[in-house]
Structure 1
Amino acid sequence: MARLLYSATMSLDGFIAGPDGDMSWLSAFSGPDPAVDALVDEIGALLVGNRTYRGDDPNRGTDNEGAFGGAWCGPQFVLTHHIPETPVPGTTFLDDLDTAIAAAKQAAGGKYVNVLGADVAAQCLTAGHLDEILVYIAPVLLGAGTRLFLHDGGTNISLERLSTNESLAATSIWYRVPR
């Protein structure tokens, strides 16, 4: 059964995007990373928030455009309240979280559904659907922007660390979300 994995690169001060969704800071931390390369092969579908889907790709217009620096391709499911009238090949737009998760899991087969976007990840976590979190911590301080998670309510959610990895570009920590 497919599992939901939220993966993101985060600044040391907790931001996955700079002010106004700026993602250009990521370019300094991209490059060969065996852990990322291995992850890409384990992803069967993407579940993407609308802001992330329409957002700032630091590789836009290059061969590296898209998820994981262009290394991943496959079905995308975009959670949005604004479904476009014109279809986009390889992309399904849905306005219901549970429906989007079910469709993405079916498309992923036994592989991961990789969640992209802080808001969608928070919705998945709140609804009890998020299975794992993989955070790449980049050695940079952004000072403002989009947080990795905004968790309303102030309740603690304990995570189980699965692994850590260090590369030249970032340190990664992989967690399981206990149920």
Structure 2
Amino acid sequence: MAKVLYSATMSLDGFIAGPGGDMSWMTEYLGPNPEVKELITRIGALLVGRRTFGGDDPHKGDEGEGKPFGGGWEGPQFIVTHHLPQETIPGITFVDDFDSALAQAKEAAGDKYVNVLGASIGRQCLEAGQLDEVLVLIAPLLLGDGVRLFDHPGGRNVKLERLSINQVPLATSLWYKVS
């Protein structure tokens, strides 16, 4: 059965995107990463928020623009949105219900990961008790403002069990199991 993994690159001060969803800061931290390369082989489907899907792309201007992991991954994507678009895109399913999107992504992933992209969808998975693991790559910079990894004022404490910590070429990787 699929596990649900929320993965993100984050600044040391806790932001996964800058003000207005700006992802341009991440470009210099996208270098070779053996841990991410290995993870990509274990992803069976993506569960993505609409803002993340249609947002700023750290691969803008290169051959990986508009592709998951800069073109390093291909497979089914489930985009959670309140407004279903008219157009269809091969390999991409737009879903207007979080629970349905998660169920479809899990089915599509089989025994691999459903990789969650987007702060809102990550938070919704956590609140629904459906988040199994969190992988955070901490980039060595302070953004000062933007979109937080998890932002839920008044939220509850969530215990995590560390699975690994690694120094990767351009970041520090922290991988946790949600207890």
**How far does the alpha carbon of each residue in 1:7-38 deviate from its partner, in whole angstroms, 9 at most, with x for none?**
00000000000011110111111111110100
1:154, distance to aligned residue in structure 2 (A) = 3.5
Runs of 4+ in 1 over 6 A off after TM superposition: none
Structure 2 unmatched runs, 5+: none
* C-alpha distance in 2 between matches for 1:114 and 1:106: 13
Residue 172 of structure 2 corresponds to 171
Q: Where does 1:30-179 land on structure 2 (aligned, <5 Å)? A: 30-65=30-65, 66-178=67-179
Q: Distance in 2 between matches of 1:116 and 1:27?
A: 17
Contact (CA 8 Å) 2:31, 2:169: kept in 1 or not? no
Q: How many percent of aligned residue pairs carry the same amino acid?
A: 63
What is the CA–CA distance in structure 2 between the aligned matches of 1:167 and 1:161, rounded to whole Å?
17
* CA–CA separation in structure 2 for the residues paired with 1:61 and 1:79: 26
**How much has 1:61 moved relative to structure 2?**
4.4
* CA RMSD of superposed structures (Å): 0.9
Deviation of 1:70 after TM superposition, in Å, equals 1.7
What residue in structure 2 maps to residue 26 of structure 1? 26
2:136 and 2:48 map into 1 onto residues whose CA distance is 17
TM-score when scaled to structure 2? 0.97
- Structure 1-normalised TM-score? 0.97
In the alignment, which residue of structure 1 is the partner of 2:12?
12
How many pairs are equivalent? 178
Q: What is the distance in 1 between the residues matched to 2:69 and 2:38? A: 11
